[in-house]
Amino acid sequence: MWCSVINGASIMQDGDLGIYKPAESTTSRHLPCNHELCSLGSGCANPKQPCPYNIDYLSENTTSSGLLIEDTLHLNSREGHVPVNASVIIGCGRKQSGGYLDGIAPDGLLGLGMADISVPSFLARAGLVPNSFSMCFKQDDSGRIFFGDQGVSAQQSTPFVPLYGKIQTYVVNVSKSCIGRVCLEDTSFQALVDSGTSFTFLPQEIYKTVTMEFDKQITASRVSIEDKTFEYCYTASPLEMPNVPTIMLTFAGNKSFQAVNPILPFDQQGALAWFCLAVLPSDSIGIIAQNFLVGYHVVFDRENMKLGWYRSECHDVDNSTTVPLGPSQHNSPEDPLPSNEQTSPAVTSAVAGTAPPSSGSTNLQKLLASSYPLLLLMMSTVFFIS
């Protein structure tokens, strides 16, 4: 998890950002280089110096670097439970590059992976919640994250499976793919479940089989558009939207997952003009991305190493209360670091940090190069604890 620390002009001049300022926090302190979670500690001149971090993401030239801070994350609770204060490690992002300069994460990034330094790992180790979290996306792309949520008894589920011999991220096995009433032969594949990727990826051969069957069943004319991101696009109008065949993924035990809305509409002069099948080919494993997760409550149960899901309109999102954000009670010094450490000597970062564990293959790197980092979420999200 890292937050932007703005030095000089902001890349989001018109954005209403909630910039994290450690110097204004009475509970923040630098993480020393000799801490067990300081991966670059060997490059420090003094073990008590602030720990640097440097993350090199798989998206081209996209990095974040700065110093690690330990501070308290304030979490609201559902159903009237007492709010929780949790100690977490936060990266103070002093320098971002690549996609981050284009504003894809103006406030920062919330790490939800399986590593020890991620927020769910901190909460579980502290005994605050079960080692699980869930999220629910509405059609307008709003949503919530619920830490500690293990879902409902009626939900479907499938186990996480190893990637390169080890369960290290949220990968599942898809046993078959169905378009409409047609279930296609030889369409099994592995997929990373990643809410931080906008559009779903299918392995190249699976992509060809699925899209050709989709094109065969849809009652609309293909259209060629200038933007070649999506291969299968079709004419439409506000008065006539053709029937779109369903896309169903089946997992072990005949557990099914139907994409609620796999298409992406495009307007022209304020009116619907065409739509595209929002699925892309990959050279490696697939990615079940945010566009397929919309309309579901999705549970990442790390305690039982399984993915759960059930259809949801995310009404609990509408009924939830939020934590009010009040003005700071402190002055705002120019150097946004903990007040007791603003004079700490600078630390030279070691070589670039490692990419996520799933980057063990060149093909997978190419696949993820066009997607956002794993489970990337804007920091304006409000968190709840179950």
Residue-level pLDDT at 67: 94
Q: Give pLDDT, residue 6.
A: 54
| Distance (Å, whole) CA 115 – CA 195 | 17
Query: Which pLDDT value is given to residue 316?
Result: 60
Which residues, including other chains, have CB under 8 Å from residue 357's CB and lie 6 or more apart? 115, 163, 166, 168, 169
Do 309 and 157 form a contact (C-beta atoms < 8 A)? yes
The confidence score (pLDDT) of residue 374 equals: 40
Q: What is the pLDDT of residue 369?
A: 34
pTM here is 0.79
Please give the pLDDT value at position 227: 83
Give the SS3 label for residue 279.
strand
pLDDT at 386: 45
Pairing of strands 233-235, 271-277: antiparallel
Answer for the pair 222, 234: CB distance below 8 angstroms, yes or no.
yes
pLDDT of residue 141: 74
**Which residue stretches of the chain have pLDDT < 50?**
7-14, 317-386
Q: In the chain, pLDDT over 90 holds for what percent of residues?
A: 51
